[in-house]
Structure 1
Amino acid sequence: MTETSPATRAEKRGAMTRFLDGVEWLGNLLPHPVTLFAILAGLMILASGLFGGVMEVAVEDPRPEGASGRAADGMIRAVSLMNEDGFRRIFTSLTTNFTSFAPLGVVLVAMLGVGVAEKSGLLSAAVRSIVLGANRHTVTVAVVFAGVLSNTASEMGYVVLVPLAGAVFYALGRHPLAGMAAAFAGTSGGYSANLLIGTIDPLLAGITTEAAQLIDPGYVVSAPANWYFMVISTFMITVVGSLVTIFIVEPKLGKYDSSRADPAVLDKNMMQPVSGAEKKGLVWAGIATLAVFAAMAWTLMGDELSLSLPFIGSLFSFGVPDWLPGWGALRNPDTGSIFQQAPFFTGFVTWIFLFFLIVGFAYGRAAGTMKNDRDVIDGMASAISTLGLYIVLVFFAAQFVAFFGWSNLGAITAVTGAQFLTDTGMTGPAIFIGFILMCCFVNLMLGSASAQWAVTAPIFVPMLMLVGYSPEVIQAAYRIGDSSTNIITPMMSYFGLILAWMTRYDKNLGIGTVIAMMLPYSVAFLVIWVALFFLWTFGLGLPVGPGSPTFYEMPAG
């Protein structure tokens, strides 16, 4: 085998770095996401004037006669906002556009509970107990798995797990950057996978609902709409991420040279084993978790308690004893279903709030980190205080979405695109390959999952609904594209923090090195995740979530 000379290797690294610098430069040409939505809202007003006021664009409405929202003449017409009526509507609706934007409320409510769990120290202790409890042979799997689970608590994976993984690998005599890469891959590359419903689920479901209602005003996407697919994706991400770390990334990094590190990070013990008080807190948190799960089961309980999953079958079914009366208040009141349009799932953000509030406080009381209601309130306030930028972003995103809906340009684009796909025969499942790749590309330039989906959902959700696919399946496909390229774009909001963590172990580290290190994860996740998506939905015919159909049919009337 011919060895590559050091000069050639340096040249190759330089070429790769220049290429990645070019990608970064192109991405930096985009304005701040808030500015981007403000510009898009303004452009939408201008576009409505052009297509609605000047060109008077119209298309035939594909919905059946008599359907809700269908015009008497069966046409969808572009509506101009550049007139007196449009100006009055914009002026009087600016506030309600913001306050009625579906994702805003659910995120704020969920974060109130998550804030208590974070303030009490529960999230940090839980992550450390998972990672530090693993032996040398399973620590890689534990790091990736903990990274995926940390998504339930927003930035905890980036702030706590990534630096902790570096310290764990270094203590085990392994390359610390490999540990940090594994944690980053699980946290960010597996952003849309989880065993639990996290804050991102109601956020995306709200945006998808807004987009779906451009076609079907009564359609609602619930927070657990992708839960089944996200659960199986958790194990896929864990296995693939671990294998890439062990067989590709760690061998490529080679033996670690500690002379490049900041001496402080090597001397400082970042392992921080779970203390006795924290262990006591985790025990009580476990008890509180069981109590919350029991309450959840009670709200679904009828004359019998049963659990039957669509892709597994009946797990158990037995009569409820007299001393434990069934209630079932959160079943569908009309059909009795625990999945389809059941309040249990459509209002699942309430469970997210209650779960983190109750379990977080139980942990805090037992561990001594929370004593009274003031500590709980401080945790809630702290969580909300971190959402300032998000709230500003939502204000402008809500205006853009509202203007887009008022102008009818979203519906017209969807009908035109669906007709094009039908005419060209591009209506089969393979259409999702192009859709997922498009989401991957957009994510390189617009790293925020909510910002990206708020822009693309009003176009692609109605378009793919009109060719027969449900909003739930469309959202699941989007999440694959969004997550897969999170770890290779400097536009991702925590990329700078990850770079800062890694430079503590290698002062010469650059953006290109980080992206090159994470690229194998990105490619592997994308290829295998897409294959899993097609096998799951179209091969095995399994639903992506509770009550989530794969196909969509236009209402009859």
Structure 2
Amino acid sequence: MAKSQPIIQNDPKGLIRFLNWIERTGNRIPHPFTVFLYLILFVLVASWIGSYLGLSSVHPGTGKELHIKSLLSTEGVHYILESTVDNFVKFKPLGLVLVMVLGIGLADKVGLFEATIKKVLLNAPKAAITYGVLFAAFIGHLASDAAYVIIPPLAAMVFRSFGRHPVAGLVTGIAGVGCGFTANIFIAGTDVLLSGITTEVAQAVNPNVQVTPIDNWYFMSLSVFVLTIAGAFITERIVEPRLGTYQGENSEPQMIELSPLVNKALRNAMVAALIYIGFLATVLFIPHSPLRGEDGGILTSPFMEGIIPIILCFFIVTGLAYGITTKKVTCTADVVKFMSDSIKDMSGFIVLAFIIAQFIAYLNWSNLTMWIAVSGSEMLKAVHLVGFPAILLFTFVAVIMALLITSGSALWSVLAPIFVPMLMLLNFHPAFIQVAYRVADSATNMITPLNPFVAVMLGFLARYDKKAGLGTHISLIFPYTVAFLVIWIIMLCLFGLLGIPVGPGVTMYLK
């Protein structure tokens, strides 16, 4: 049995000290639920102080003067007691996400996503295997956190079967799943969750603003192809040459081919998807279609407003086609079970959504959101930071915060109530602000030791080098983080300054 060699020698001490500082600092941050409890206490006190000082702001839309209202007053206590249930039940992201999970969860539980990923990797030609791993990783975001434990080890096995360094495959999979998180050619649960939070806070400034799950689709789908090319370049020109020839144990399990039944199920799922899309396109483009708007358009139409149930049905149709073929779905009770299991997996999100809903509602009711937004926008105007540099500054802040708060939804729930209204008053579209956040949060996903999946990745690394530690992991991932972040910022500049839509009808500025 050959002795494994260290993957990377002499990790830079400065980097390790920096990461140790992040870990020590981040470990002092409590669970997101507790963080929002503290934030609510802060809002209670801040609303009382603001009310006592007589602070107010002028609503930019209505011109009405809004005084800060104390949540600790009689009126405020009544509001807290009477609105708690409504705040939770009417929290837009809650319903949107749970509805999407019913469809995506069914497709995931029957094994459609895992089989699709394996199919992509197994059928990729040797010269394009790096591109195949990255592309599969981006598609794998449909499976949410499950992608972290499916794609990287599978990518390592694929690389090993082609005589390449398995760690290069592992790292490529980690980069695609983690550093490129939320980039996808499909609408995923993250799109639904973030757009719901964005809408919730944006309507404090303009009640007519609606951010939909497809408002970032152009940007994120293009990101898949751009980052696939960039990631493959980094793997083949930087990471893999640095790793050298793999000299570890030659006992990697062989790739398992998909069974004829699974291939048949995938074919049936593809046929079902094409039939569904074809039917939808036919209904959408017929004259006087009920899915079109009153003016015959699509951007403001029942199709766009009903995009969630439309996507839900897509995943149900494809999931059923796959599940029925593989006999994992034999009756309606199986469908109910798979959907129920998916909702159970969301229990942590449901609990967190309860406290986030209260936090945002209290900010809005007390008028602190508008006061912060108006004061912040006036400050940015005073220092002439009103154009694209304001978005870059926000992106930088989000990058720093993402190193310490690793839950993307929790961090956006903290930043959105402050920055979305503030930047909207500078005429930025809330969906564009959301894109800037996604860039910052995604690229840094896998370099913070606070991300629980970093520990999982270290376990995968240990299969090939028992001595590999956090510094090894970071030194391998860091080139992807820097490259993806720089590329995404360049894309932000191009989309914003050239007026290219990041989604249907969505440009950098509000119209």
Fold shared, TM-score > 0.5 on shorter chain: yes
Q: Name the counterpart of 1:520.
A: 479
- The CA distance in 2 between the partners of 1:380 and 1:240, in whole Å, is 37
Residue of 231, 247, 267 corresponding to 1:241: 231
Residues 14-53 of structure 1 mapped to structure 2, 5 A cutoff: 14-52=13-51
Secondary structure of residue in 2 paired with 1:137:
helix
CA separation of 1:176 and 1:443: change in aligned 2, threshold 3 A? same
For 1:225, give the aligned amino acid: D
1:162 aligns with 2:152: yes
Q: CA deviation at 1:267?
A: 4.8
Pairs aligned (count): 504
- The CA distance in 1 between the partners of 2:116 and 2:440, in whole Å, is 29
Q: Name the counterpart of 1:482.
A: 441
1:305-342 per-position Cα deviation (integer Å, ceiling 9, x unaligned): xxxxxxxxxxxxxxxxxxxxxx622222x322112x32
1:337 aligns with 2:336: no
After TM superposition, the structure 1 stretch with the greater mean CA deviation from structure 2, 43-52 or 153-162, is: 153-162
CA separation of 1:161 and 1:11: change in aligned 2, threshold 3 A? closer
Residues 496-535 of structure 1 mapped to structure 2, 5 A cutoff: 496-535=455-494
Residue of 72, 76, 79 corresponding to 1:82: 72
- The CA distance in 1 between the partners of 2:57 and 2:197, in whole Å, is 25
Residue of 121, 124, 127 corresponding to 2:117: 127
Secondary structure of residue in 2 paired with 1:79:
coil
Q: CA deviation at 1:96?
A: 1.3
Alignment check: 8 A CA contact 2:93 2:197 kept: yes
- The CA distance in 2 between the partners of 1:515 and 1:11, in whole Å, is 13
Q: Name the counterpart of 2:500.
A: 542
1:292 aligns with 2:292: no
Q: CA deviation at 1:257?
A: 3.3
Q: Name the counterpart of 1:308.
A: none
- The CA distance in 1 between the partners of 2:34 and 2:71, in whole Å, is 21
Uncovered stretches (5+) of structure 2, i.e. residues with no partner: 1-7
- The CA distance in 1 between the partners of 2:291 and 2:187, in whole Å, is 17
Q: CA deviation at 1:12?
A: 5.2
Q: CA deviation at 1:11?
A: 6.3
Q: CA deviation at 1:24?
A: 1.2
- The CA distance in 2 between the partners of 1:55 and 1:203, in whole Å, is 36
Alignment check: 8 A CA contact 1:223 1:345 kept: no
Q: Name the counterpart of 1:319.
A: none
Q: CA deviation at 1:255?
A: 2.4
Secondary structure of residue in 2 paired with 1:225:
coil
1:499-557 per-position Cα deviation (integer Å, ceiling 9, x unaligned): 22222222222122211211110110111111112112312x2111112243125xxxx
Q: Name the counterpart of 2:5.
A: none
Residue of 272, 284, 290 corresponding to 2:256: 272
- The CA distance in 2 between the partners of 1:124 and 1:416, in whole Å, is 49
Q: CA deviation at 1:226?
A: 0.8
Secondary structure of residue in 1 paired with 2:66:
strand
Q: Name the counterpart of 1:201.
A: 191
Residues 210-249 of structure 1 mapped to structure 2, 5 A cutoff: 210-249=200-239
Q: Name the counterpart of 1:373.
A: 332
Q: Name the counterpart of 1:138.
A: 128
Alignment check: 8 A CA contact 1:536 1:542 kept: yes
Alignment check: 8 A CA contact 2:113 2:143 kept: yes
Secondary structure of residue in 1 paired with 2:127:
coil
Residue of 43, 54, 57 corresponding to 1:59: 57
The alignment-based identity, stated in percent, is: 38
Q: CA deviation at 1:494?
A: 2.4
- The CA distance in 2 between the partners of 1:378 and 1:515, in whole Å, is 40
- The CA distance in 2 between the partners of 1:335 and 1:222, in whole Å, is 20
Q: CA deviation at 1:495?
A: 2.4
Secondary structure of residue in 2 paired with 1:59:
strand
For 2:434, give the aligned amino acid: Q
- The CA distance in 1 between the partners of 2:326 and 2:123, in whole Å, is 19
Q: Name the counterpart of 2:428.
A: 469
Residues 360-399 of structure 1 mapped to structure 2, 5 A cutoff: 360-399=319-358
Q: Name the counterpart of 1:173.
A: 163
Q: Name the counterpart of 1:425.
A: 384
CA separation of 1:414 and 1:228: change in aligned 2, threshold 3 A? same
Alignment check: 8 A CA contact 1:124 1:156 kept: no
For 1:400, give the aligned amino acid: F
Secondary structure of residue in 2 paired with 1:488:
coil
For 2:506, give the aligned amino acid: S
- The CA distance in 2 between the partners of 1:77 and 1:513, in whole Å, is 53
1:228-258 per-position Cα deviation (integer Å, ceiling 9, x unaligned): 1111111111111111111111122222231
Tell me how large the CA RMSD over aligned residues is. 1.7
- The CA distance in 2 between the partners of 1:91 and 1:253, in whole Å, is 60
Secondary structure of residue in 2 paired with 1:300:
helix
Secondary structure of residue in 1 paired with 2:285:
coil
Q: CA deviation at 1:493?
A: 4.0
Q: CA deviation at 1:369?
A: 2.5
- The CA distance in 2 between the partners of 1:473 and 1:14, in whole Å, is 38
Normalised by the size of structure 1, how large is the TM-score?
Answer: 0.87
- The CA distance in 2 between the partners of 1:342 and 1:494, in whole Å, is 40
1:192-214 per-position Cα deviation (integer Å, ceiling 9, x unaligned): 21111111111111111011111
Secondary structure of residue in 2 paired with 1:76:
strand
Uncovered stretches (5+) of structure 1, i.e. residues with no partner: 1-8, 304-326
Residue of 310, 318, 325 corresponding to 1:351: 310
Residues 399-418 of structure 1 mapped to structure 2, 5 A cutoff: 399-418=358-377
1:25-60 per-position Cα deviation (integer Å, ceiling 9, x unaligned): 1111111111111111121111111112x2121123
Residues 104-123 of structure 1 mapped to structure 2, 5 A cutoff: 104-123=94-113
For 1:544, give the aligned amino acid: V
After TM superposition, the structure 1 stretch with the greater mean CA deviation from structure 2, 123-132 or 423-432, is: 423-432
1:264-301 per-position Cα deviation (integer Å, ceiling 9, x unaligned): xx3544x2221100110011001110121023213422
Q: Name the counterpart of 1:316.
A: none
